[in-house]
Structure 1
Amino acid sequence: NIRNAMEAASVDSKLHFTQELCSQSERLVAITEQLFKSVRVCCGPEALHWYLEGWAGLKLRAFKSPQKAQSPPQYTSGYRVSQLIQLHKDGGRLRFGCFLEIHPGENDARLEWPFGKTFTLGILHPTDRRKVISCEEDASLSENKLPFQRPKDKHNRGYGNSFLTTADEIERGGFVRDDTLHLFLRLEP
């Protein structure tokens, strides 16, 4: 009888363990899916991030002459791309522009040209990921196809928004932290 009782307890224990494991597994899957959704809302698929340091100096120089800064080129969806920002004085304010640049890359022979993807360029808030300043562009709808041709020796001319926002709006919105802006570039699949 003791042996039967131990076997029954073992079976009950295994059954309880299996049920608990299934329950925990379902919860883990649900949490993972929720996390994935929130990451996609924040940055979406194929997002590249660039932390532009030295904001205050760039801004000061822009009051004297137009300034540009370019992210290091990175690969996304096979394309080698970078993000370019421009700051230039317009009356008493500084206009902030944001652009996609396409560079020659290893995969160019296998990619579709002209580039025809939808892309989003913008600035992420350092503490509140729901706060974003961005623009979305559909390269396939652009009348200007030159920036989207296969690049030859150097990167193509940038394409984006020459007046995404102003330096004052960036600072008033709390987007600068430790003299750094968090910029992103996302290509839609």
Structure 2
Amino acid sequence: MSLILINGSPRKNGNSQYITDFIISILERENVQYKLVDVKNMDIAYCTGCGACEKTGWCVIKDQGVELHRQFDESSATIIISPIYFNSLTAQVKAVIDRMQAIYSSKYVLKKPTFERNKERQGAFIAVAGSPPYEEQFVGAKFIIDMFFKVINTKWIETMLINDTDAKHISKRDEKLKRIEDIVMRIVQKMD
């Protein structure tokens, strides 16, 4: 049983990195096996929409994106942390998600899933926005996360949407960190 932790920030020392490090400390304290997917350090090409996966169920681009297919398939849980840029995910997280098109094609186009469909997986999404709250601030990101979790056969059980981090860094928001710990522990308990 393993957990995939995606740090979706292209920045090194922002709120998403702080949350990622905080979650890692919890996972290590609880002796949970995890794989960190740190998008800023990945070699992953964008999906070109070539359509090859609609014929084979597999991506023809050979890079870390293909490795992620197997890792998601073998995982028991996924936690995604992403800053919000223009009401959506970062381009780097979107590139990772778009490369799961081969899994989508195998399931919905070919009807021959390359991914274990009956395995129970849990998912959580933590979004960080620098601006003060406003209507529909996280809507674009939530639509994408919803589809992503459906494609990788993951039940989306937790969400945390944090705004106004330009004014107050996450490290100074104990109530938010406590909620993050609660989310991680709920995911970990469901992995057993």
Instruction: Give the TM-score, by structure 1 length.
Output: 0.26
Instruction: Give the TM-score, by structure 2 length.
Output: 0.26
Higher helix fraction: Structure 1 or Structure 2?
2
Q: Work out which of the two has the higher radius of gyration on C-alpha atoms and give 1 or 2.
A: 1
Higher strand fraction: Structure 1 or Structure 2?
1
